[in-house]
Amino acid sequence: MRWSGVTTELNKLVPKKVNILSWRAELGKIPTRSVLRIKNINIGSLTCKLCDKAEETIDHLFTACQMSTYYLWSKIESWCKLPPLFAFSFRDLMVFHNSLVATKLRKELVLSVLQMTVWCIWKARNDAMFRQHRIIKEKMVDDVKMLS
Ligand SMILES: [Zn+2]
């Protein structure tokens, strides 16, 4: 099953809510600060809650933010023994597994880990934004490993 315009496959190895987050993110339909601004919802600062350095867009949050790129994705690469994960857009993340020379099962498992990482990034962002939780990058890696 696919949503129109979405390349992300339905992944039976992850919970439905995780697939839905991936699909919505690929469609640009998760409420980042830049999306809320476009909808004229006043949210004050547009700055990313994870790094405090750039505008919070979907691509920034998952592929350019210091927290996701320089820390989380590199930990995931070494944990899963993956080649360097070059992603310039959210869609790049969701098709990365197709570039691997691997069995179908391994590709599905890699996609699962990437989707769970996206889930953990979004959850950490929401916890920081709405519950004033401090971002603990080591905890994000532990959460991905525990959920995957
Ligand atoms: Zn950031």
pLDDT interval class at 146 (50, 70, 90): confident
Residue 104 Cα to ligand 1 midpoint, Å, equals: 33
pLDDT interval class at 49 (50, 70, 90): confident
- H helices of 1-148, in order, are 16-26, 33-38, 58-59, 66, 74-80, 90-95, 104-130, 137-147
Residue 95 Cα to ligand 1 midpoint, Å, equals: 22
Q: Which residue has the tokens 């129109």?
A: 4
Burial (CB < 10 A; 0-12, 13-18, 19+), residue 44, is: exposed
Residue 39 Cα to ligand 1 midpoint, Å, equals: 21
What the block records as the tokens of 111 is 């996609």
Mean pLDDT confidence for 54-82: 90
Residue 38 Cα to ligand 1 midpoint, Å, equals: 19
- pLDDT exceeds cutoff 60 at 1: no
For residue 78, give the 3-state DSSP assignment: helix
Greater confidence (128 vs 70) lies with 128
Is residue 8 a contact partner of residue 22, using CB atoms and an 8 Å limit? Answer: yes
Is residue 110 a contact partner of residue 96, using CB atoms and an 8 Å limit? Answer: yes
Is residue 34 a contact partner of residue 55, using CB atoms and an 8 Å limit? Answer: yes
Residue 13 Cα to ligand 1 midpoint, Å, equals: 28
Distance of CA 42 to the CA centre of its chain: 24
Residue 128 Cα to ligand 1 midpoint, Å, equals: 12
